[in-house]
Amino acid sequence: MPNDALLQVRLDAKTKTRAEKFFKRFGLSASDGVRLLINQAMTEKTLPRIPNAETRKAIEECRAGRGEIVPMSELKERILGKSCGR
């Protein structure tokens, strides 16, 4: 499908520069990044998953080596209670 429509986005200069540097690391332009976001949203029919504060904290704990490995069966019990599946 040809790229024959124009979309303009306004944002502050600092964010634009940060986005350009970020996408350049992947060999993409900022425009490519916006296209990826829109195409993913249209394909998935939802916005990309953005972790909430609790999830971000857990990610940082794991990266710092303070995470905990839990077997799936135990995780289910912790989340749903011991009566899960019974």
Following DSSP, what letter does each residue of 47-80 receive, concatenated?
Answer: PPP---HHHHHHHHHHHTT------HHHHHHHHH
How many domains does the chain contain in total? 1
Does residue 31 form part of some domain? yes
Does residue 66 form part of some domain? no
Does residue 62 form part of some domain? no
Tell me the pTM.
0.56
Query: Which residue range forms the structural domain that includes residue 22?
Result: 13-44
- How far, in Å, CA of 51 to CA of 57, rounded? 9
pLDDT of residue 73: 80
| Ramachandran angles phi, psi of 16, nearest 5° | -60, -45
- How far, in Å, CA of 29 to CA of 35, rounded? 10
| Ramachandran angles phi, psi of 74, nearest 5° | -70, -35
Does residue 4 form part of some domain? no
- How far is Cα of residue 70 from the mean position of the Cα atoms in its chain? 23
pLDDT digits (tens, 9 = 90+) for 22-79: 999 999 999 999 999 999 999 988 887 778 888 888 888 888 988 877 788 888 787 8
